[in-house]
Structure formats: structure tokens, C-alpha cells
Structure 1
Amino acid sequence: MNHDSDTLDTLDDAVAAQAFRRLIRHLRHRDDAQNIDLMGLAGFCRNCLSDWVEEAGGLDKDAAREAVYGMPYSQWKAQHQGDATPEQLERMKASVAKNAVV
């Protein structure tokens, strides 16, 4: 994709921030949507979002994860994350391979 002509870059930062917050709140509400399934379908998950927040320079890793999860990551994992099946891991591997930029 040519980012030079991407209309996303012309989106007002306040609008983009509001949409980002809505996405995060949606993912907090949908704690039944496992990260492994998000990775298998879309090649990104809550951890990716928190990594992107960290990379943007706002927070360290733990604080970024807490901002995305709405609680400490270890607490979220204990309450909501199950063990991944071999099938989920295989779907994730295939999906993440599509993330490679050529």
C-alpha cells in the first residue's frame, strides 16, 4: 500500500483517537474473543495494540498493556485466556506470515 496517498493520514487525530478508544473498549467487552483467535483471523491482537501504544512513545510495556486490557495483563490472562489448541496455533502462524511486508 502506498502510504503517501492514504486518506487515513488525513484523519483528524481526535477522531482517530476516539475510534481507537472505541476499538479498545469493544475488545475489553468481548473478552470471549481470544487473542489467539484474533491473531489467527486478522494477524493482530490486544498485545499487538499495546505494543503499538508502547512504540508510539506514550507508555512502557506494562502500562500499555494495562491501558489496552483495562487491568494488569497477568490478571486478564488468569481470568480470560485459555490454552491455545494446536489448530489455533497453526491458524495464527499462517495468519502472521501474511503480515510480512514485501
Structure 2
Amino acid sequence: MKTGRRKFDSAFKAKVALEALKERETLQQLALKYELHPNQISQWKQEFIEKSAQVFESKVLKESSDESVSELYQKIGKLEMEKEFLKKNLKRFGLFWGLLFIPWCLR
């Protein structure tokens, strides 16, 4: 019977990659322990090393994006208030314009 491909979550991959980085056990020993191919462990280890810098970059990007999001929400709130103000005052101005200026223009 043929078995399907196994899928591993990121926590498991990180755990195996960290153990490989510690080098307390050889790749062969880790492969036997976790029932993986040594090449798979090497690949996860390399990916872990390459992407480790992103952990610190994401905090900076997240902080700057949070600031821009809050600025955008403030802008949306301001525009909503302006829209409501203009709606209310355009109704008054429209009546004023209709009563005073249109009859004068038609003369």
C-alpha cells in the first residue's frame, strides 16, 4: 500500500532545524529519531538560517504599518465628518440658492 506525503507544521520544522543547528546529534541520528530523510533536515536547517533575519525585520515593518493604519483611520474619520458637515450645509445652501438666486437669474 502506498502512503501519501506527510505534512509537517512550522513548529515541528523549527524544532528539528534547531536541533540540527545545535549539532548535539548527527543528521543521521536526527533522521532516525524523527523518521525523516537527512536531506530534508538539511533543507529545513538552511531555510531556518536564511529566514531568521525576518523575525526582527517584521517587528519594524509591523510598527510602521500600524502607524500608517492608524493615520489612515484618522483620515477616514476626518473625511466622514467633513462629508456629513457638507451634506447638512449643502441642503441649507441649496435651499438658500434656490430661493434667492435662481429667481434673480431668471429675471
Q: When the two structures are superposed, what TM-score results if normalisation uses the length of structure 2?
A: 0.27
Task: Kindly name which structure, 1 or 2, has the bigger radius of gyration based on alpha carbons.
Answer: 2
Q: 1 or 2 for the larger relative contact order (CA 8 Å, sep ≥6)?
A: 1
Higher helix share: 2
